[in-house]
Amino acid sequence: MAAKLIVGLGNPGPQYTWTRHNAGFMVLDRLARLINVSITRKAFSGLVGDGEWRGNRVYLLKPQTFMNLSGRSVAEALRFYKLSLSDLIVIHDDLDIPFGTIKLKEGGGHGGHNGLRSLAQELGSPAYFRVRVGIGRPERGEVVSYVLQNFAKSEMDSLTTVLDGTIDALELLVTEGVQKAMSLYNGKQLG
């Protein structure tokens, strides 16, 4: 049985629960409920749970280090489970993609995302899979305050559809590979 470390990026604490920057946590929490995995065990400076999904052993990790130090948690978990970068899937928010749209990719730069910057520093390579959840850019104002704001009411109405569609793409990534998942989901408007 193959194993995957699936990481949702976000910030710990109830004040961040529904913020745009926590899109990775939201997807992971929804996946955990779907496959009946509890992400409550404290390890790797994060919260972790494990189970089986579609014939794979999956380890679900929510780093609790705040976004800009996420790489430490992920590197510790990879070492502990003796997994390689090709076994890592990171789910994160992306300003450069419109809300309701997702993109999958393998490798690439951090694009100014502090969580991805930390991963690059700690892992020494960007050669892992990413599920990028679009949050759009603010029309005006600072990006930092925008990503730390809750989703707007209009966005919350379709957020469940976006999360479920993201899990469908993630499932295809795990079972069929990145090329198939990218061909069906890259740029697809989910909500």
Which of 21, 92, 110, 113 is labelled catalytic? Answer: 21
Q: Dihedral of the CA atoms 116, 105, 47, 57 (nearest 10)?
A: -150
Q: Once rounded to an integer, what is the mean pLDDT over residues 153-172?
A: 94
Q: Once rounded to an integer, what is the mean pLDDT over residues 82-105?
A: 95
Residue 155's alpha-carbon distances to 34, 41, 91, 122, in angstroms, are 22, 31, 19, 33
Q: What is the pLDDT of residues 62-84, one digit of tens each?
A: 999 989 999 999 999 999 999 99
**Nearest CA-CA partner of 18 in 147, 150, 157:** 150
**114-123 and 70-81 helices, crossing angle to 10°:** 40
Q: Which domains does the chain have, with CATH numbers?
A: 2-189 (3.40.50.1470)
Give the pLDDT of residue 112: 87
Give the pLDDT of residue 31: 98
Please say if 113 is a catalytic residue.
no
Cα(151)–Cα(69) distance, rounded to whole angstroms?
23
* pLDDT over 70 percentage in the chain: 100
Give the pLDDT of residue 164: 96
